[in-house]
Chain A
């Protein structure tokens, strides 16, 4: 468990606990995300960290602490995830606030990279190097005495033995992702930062990578990975940080946040053989809190999407109305995140 400077947000809850509390909206801007069994101090600490480029605010007043374990950094494109990871990796100075990794600022301190592994979002890896050459290159720059042994061990961990003597330029997108992870892992870092690590991976490799991250966390590492896909977080870790428009919109257990996302108000447009009759039947149900007749059909607001799915079939049958079209009106990931921010 991490130390808990903000107990109102998260209590010291192990990852295995089924329903830890969740913080959303403005309160989430300051969160301590528990991850795993106790460590003396948080590996990652952000205190009111902000980063802006001219008039554009990329990260805005974000505070959280992370200990050992896997945490998913979730958010739509442009949310500020990469900026946040680059601040943690020491590549960007915070414009305001404080960023610490293993108790010190990573900015302009190359020695911190002995304990940090970084997997960047960009796909580029030296295409002329073989997989083994690349991982060995990373090991040598880390000053490892047995670079070759360490490289081969990490290559095996990522399941790249069969292709380690091939030039990376011939690798598939998923293989390039894996060799990037191998390069970041070869020196056995305490903190692993991964920017969209599952991009381009096929489902089998994705699951293998997720399991690997889980295993690495169980061995005592702090792992933070970004993703814009909620399902990617599900298998890896129970803790997530949700970023929207540069702010921390929610933090805590992913299942609770997922429930919030699912049971938020949904807008559904329905076309049927008799919209008026269907509206009268629907409004009597508690899961529906608004119905509007529009030129496009019936616009229904519901707070419980799963319950509504069951309801619409039964109600239309009872009312003798034929359903022509049922369309969710606001299912984009951005709208889900926007809801979390407004909440």
Chain B
């Protein structure tokens, strides 16, 4: 028996996060997401050229219609479901599981990496589009951009955590995620205001009010409620993901 080495060094987290980021970046669909992230920026340029800028217009046309409805959920669901999904599909998850690393660290590293990447992509698009269109709006423009950035941060953390956990239960996490985005958030939450408490979109919209009250009619949660529910969702999802990873079984394969 060799000398016992410390197990569960926190240094494992950046190592796994780094490899996860490279794995997610290397996927072809990430290129499509980058292209998608240019959409708000291009729209901002178009509106600026048409002299149709202002917090009200920008929030309605770009933030609500494009960034919150399409860009944020799509990017975060793809990164969240892919953080473990890619490893499971490709079989490389075995290299993580066969290590003396506590499972919560693996989950935390994956979640951090995927969330950071989602924030980077959606945040960059938000800040750039805001800078182009809301520059002339003065302090209001700056606060509105910061509030929108906070939405992206909160939304990214929630979507990634939820769909990262789901990907450990099913290989269809991405399909379920897109269904959730289109049906639950896109249709049902509009028709049934009562389900706002179960909508990540509502959490992200509500959290923005911590900085600035954006003119979004749909936002139904107070800032405090939105932040609290977001925190509960993230913690719960990561705990469930850790629980599942501890029980994760590799099939026997062809032999």
Contact = CB atoms under 8 A, between A and B. Distances in A.
Contact of B22 (A122, A128, A190): A128
B254 A126 contact: no
A113 B250 contact: no
A273 B100 CA distance: 69
Contacts, number: 124
Contact of A92 (B2, B249, B255): B249
The number of chain B residues touching the other chain, given as a range, is 35 or more
Contacts of B248: 91
Contacts of A111: 7, 100
Contacts of A77: 254-255
Contacts of B98: 89, 91, 113, 116-118, 184
A91 B92 contact: no
A108 interface: yes
B30 to A, nearest CB: 12
B1 A140 contact: no
A124 B94 CA distance: 10
If over half of B's interface residues share one DSSP class (helix, strand or loop), that class is named, otherwise mixed; here it is loop
Contacts of B19: 126, 129, 137
A126 B16 CA distance: 12
Given A137-B19, A141-B16, A110 B92 contact: no
Interface centre among B4, B7, B22, B95 (most CB of A within 10 A): B95
If over half of A's interface residues share one DSSP class (helix, strand or loop), that class is named, otherwise mixed; here it is loop
Given A110-B100, A110-B102, A141-B96, A122 B246 contact: no
A188 B2 contact: yes
Contacts of A197: none
B101 interface: yes
A70 B157 CA distance: 48
A121 B23 contact: no
Given A83-B255, A92-B250, A141-B15, A126 B92 contact: yes
B191 interface: no
A21 interface: no
Interface string A71-113: 0000101111111001001011100000000100000101111
Contacts of A108: 246-247
Nearest to A51: B252
Given A110-B99, A114-B5, A58 B94 contact: no
Interface residues of A, number: 53
A110 B255 contact: no
A141 B12 contact: yes
B194 interface: no
B100 A82 contact: no
B253 interface: yes
B254 A78 contact: yes
A142 B255 contact: no
Interface string B83-98: 0000000111011111
A88 to B, nearest CB: 11
Contacts of B103: 110
B11 to A, nearest CB: 6
B26 interface: yes
Contact of A143 (B6, B90, B92): B6
B249 A110 contact: no
Interface in B203-255: 246-255
A83 B254 CA distance: 9
A183 interface: yes
B114 to A, nearest CB: 16
Interface in B117-168: none
A143 B9 CA distance: 6
Contacts of A122: 91, 94, 253
B250 A86 contact: yes
Given A141-B99, A142-B100, A82 B254 contact: yes
A342 to B, nearest CB: 21
Nearest to A92: B249
A128 B15 CA distance: 14
Contacts of B2: 114-115, 188, 190
A52 to B, nearest CB: 10
A172 B9 CA distance: 33
B90 A124 contact: yes
A183 B253 contact: no
B99 A113 contact: yes
Contacts of B11: 140, 143
A144 interface: yes
A53 B16 CA distance: 31
Contact of A58 (B95, B250, B252): B252
B91 A142 contact: no
A226 interface: yes
**3 smallest beta-carbon distances between A and B, as pairs:** A83-B252, A82-B255, A122-B91
17 contacts: A53-B251, A77-B255, A91-B97, A91-B98, A91-B248, A108-B247, A113-B98, A114-B2, A117-B98, A125-B95, A126-B22, A141-B15, A190-B1, A190-B2, A196-B255, A226-B255, A228-B255
Given A51-B252, A82-B255, A143-B6, 17 more contacts: A78-B255, A86-B250, A86-B252, A91-B250, A108-B246, A110-B8, A117-B98, A118-B94, A122-B94, A124-B90, A124-B91, A129-B19, A142-B99, A142-B100, A183-B95, A190-B1, A195-B255
Interface of B: 1-2, 4-9, 11-12, 15-16, 19, 22-23, 26, 90-92, 94-103, 246-255
